[in-house]
Structure 1
Amino acid sequence: MSSDDEPEPTLSVPDTADELIERFGQSDAAEEALFGELTKAQVSLADVGGLANVKEQLERSFLAPLRNPQMAAAFGKKAGGGLLLWGPPGCGKTFLARAVAGEMGANFYDVGLADVLDMWIGSSERNLAAIFETARRNSPCVLFFDEIDALGQKRSHLRHAAGLRTVVNQLLAELDGVSASNEGVFVLAATNHPWDVDEALLRPGRFDRKLLVLPPDAPARHAVLQYHLRSKPTEQLNLGKVVEATEGYSGADIAHVVESATEACLSASIATGEVQPIGTQHLLTAALESSSTIGPWLETARNHVVYSNRSGDYDELEAFLRLRDKRRR
């Protein structure tokens, strides 16, 4: 019989949900799955404007031991492990993680909550296993989890969500390298709510190093403004004034200021039929008409500083809040 005469193969449809789950577990799909975004990092810490203190801490506690593994071993320090970036939203935690990968010449594997969680029983755990396996195959690799507080939420808060408890357990097992070695895989995570992260994730060998990423300082705000204005028609700008006007703004807030000024100039250009470049006053007006969006986060953080800082985990944040209060008086 010729190939043209061969009957086409038929696919049997599972009769029950249990049969579907069992069939998925027997398939090799997880071996080929690629969740999230895997890229070669093209930026480094040199591309991060300002934030000298953050970069110095990254170098001292994370990057230097990786660059000098023998020296680190002589002092009983293990190269690698995990790093938790925490702080208010929109302040560049993901960009910093990408820059760390660039410093290491590593791949950057960006994984979000939607890449892991699945409605089917057991699928979220399989997704996590596949993600770590992908990172191992592409080492050296920085595996980055955004919103780790949602993925690794305190299990004491999950009494009525057994499925999420098993996801946390799977994440702990993968971080510990229970099923395979994590050599060459460096796990970073970001959260706006470190107080919601399960304590087990913060133990040695996991996310035992934590770095507070605060709103951009003056040099960083200047760099953010330059970045977002780089391809737009502008007058001779006095960015120093705009930097002063955006104190306390997140990087995302500053991007919004530039976008608002751009829209105003675009409307004026359409009305006059000529390009109206962005000027300093356009940016100052946009900054005046907007405000920092991190206020609610700071108030929540203040409560944790006051009532939950017995371990000293939030000392740096407490110092920042005191300085901020002093400046506002």
Structure 2
Amino acid sequence: MAEDAVIRELAAAVERSPELAELRVHLATLLVERERFAEALAHCSAVLAQDATHAAALSLLQRCTAGLAGPPPSAGGSSPEFDWGAAEDQVADIVKPAFVDDPAAVVDENDFDAVQRPVTRLTDIAGMADVKKQLELSLLGPIRNPDLMKTFKVSARGGLLLYGPPGCGKTFVAKAVSGELGANFYQVGIADVLSRWLGESENSIRAIFDSARRNAPCVLFFDEVDALGHRRSALSGSAGLRTVVNALLEELDSATSVNDGVYVLGATNAPWDVDPALRRPGRFDRMIFVPLPDAEARAAIMKLHLQDRPVEGINLAEVAKRTDGFSGADLAHICDSATQLAMADSLSSGQIRPVRMSDVDTALTQIRPSTGPWFDTARNVVEFSNRDGTYDALAKYLRRHRVR
């Protein structure tokens, strides 16, 4: 019973913070140990929708699939026995992924907990021409031309906030900026900052900025800024979070004068929940809207998530045409679902077969775009809270696109 209580507590924690992948993986591991494979599979799929390369989730996914397929048949059974010893040879015999009309692949970078030096560049990102142009004008161009900045008496001070629907590659864009600058990359999430001990969260903020200074030039990337820098007016009952916002404001202010070589970027799905003080000059004073992937980007994302799996005859151009309105995370989910179908068929037949277009077709009938609620909120924000023009780029996008 104690073990069930642990699972209930973890399930409640996941419900409160569904974006925390490691929490889901821990819960899925316990569920697999108790042979509750269907429940574990749902959590594995949620993790892989965020990061299709998550090694622990992929490993658990295989265990769930095998568990749901039932125990291996007996020697006298009529079902063919799956020969795992010969599986690797079968995979080697399968023709390399054959894609139709496929654009250049996006080179993915693993997420890291410490300071890293990404090699990703903006040219590795398919599509997203408007985002690249804005990055060049608002950040990269001035930094690359210090003499021009002196002439016009401007500086690269302050931070840049990437905002848009969830699962659309804001973190990948931030890494590409780091690669363009030849700078280190330090990614910070809410779990790296918040502590249950009084005063520790503020100390974490200061330590993070100190580490970025020591590793300059460095792109200091704050993920989920709305969680770290929530409107203080909405935090009347959360004194701890209010002090975190204040500490972040303090460090951002000092970054404008003493943090040479530290470029602060942030990402959020809900910029309207970010404390207005964080968007004043010298802080996150520039905003770039990162929209849903266009057709070129959708094809590249599909290829990225299928490139290390046995596939056959996948028409990426056709898939891209049929997935307008899907986020990058939705596309990863389609790839995972199609792969699960091929795995299930392989387990049933005893012969490994590649992922085919028919699997993708089936996955497309089962999966719908996940960003509809986000755009519903965004439309209300544009209609009622855009008097100062903060969300003009979002408003322009909504006028041009009909998002489901």
Q: Which one of 249, 253, 258 corresponds to residue 181 of structure 1?
A: 258
What residue identity is the alignment partner of 1:320? Y
| TM-score of the superposed pair, with normalisation by structure 1 | 0.85
Pairing of 1:88-103 with structure 2 (within 5 A): 88-103=165-180
SS of 1:83's partner is strand
Could you tell me how far 1:239 is from its partner in structure 2? 1.1
The residue number in structure 2 matching 1:31 is none
**1:179: Cα distance to partner?**
11
Does the CA contact (< 8 Å) of 2:158 and 2:255 recur in 1?
A: no
- Alignment partners' CA distance in 2, 1:249 and 1:260: 15
> Structure 1 counterpart of 2:390, which letter?
D
CA deviation map 1:219-269 (0-9, x unaligned): 100110110111111112211111112111110100000010001111112
After TM superposition, list the pairs within 5 Å mapping 1:260-299 onto structure 2. Answer: 260-299=337-376
Partner of 1:37: 114
- TM-score calculated relative to the size of structure 2: 0.70
Q: Which of 291, 299, 304 is residue 381 of structure 2 equivalent to?
A: 304
Per the alignment, residue 31 of structure 2 pairs with none
Q: Deviations over 1:97-151 (max 9, x none)?
A: 0111011111110110011111111111111000000000011000011111111
Return the letter of the residue paired with 1:142.
V
Give the Å deviation of 1:36: 4.1
The 5 A counterparts of 1:140-289 are 140-177=217-254, 181-289=258-366
Q: Aligned-pair RMSD on alpha carbons?
A: 1.7
> For each residue in 1:266-324, what CA deviation from the matched residue of structure 2 results, as whole angstroms up to 9, or x when unmatched?
11122222222222222122122101110111111111111101011112212222223
Is the contact made by 1:69 and 1:79 (CA closer than 8 Å) also made in structure 2? no
Describe the superposition over 1:11-63 as per-residue Cα deviations: whole angstroms up to 9, x where unpaired: xxxxxxxxxxxxxxxxxxxxxxxx94221112111111111111111111110
- Structure 1 CA distance, aligned partners of 2:339 and 2:276? 45
Change (3 A) 1:181 1:36: farther
Match for 1:123: what amino acid?
E
SS in 2 for 1:38: coil
Unaligned runs of 5+ in 2: 1-111
| Correspondent of 2:154 among 69, 73, 77 | 77
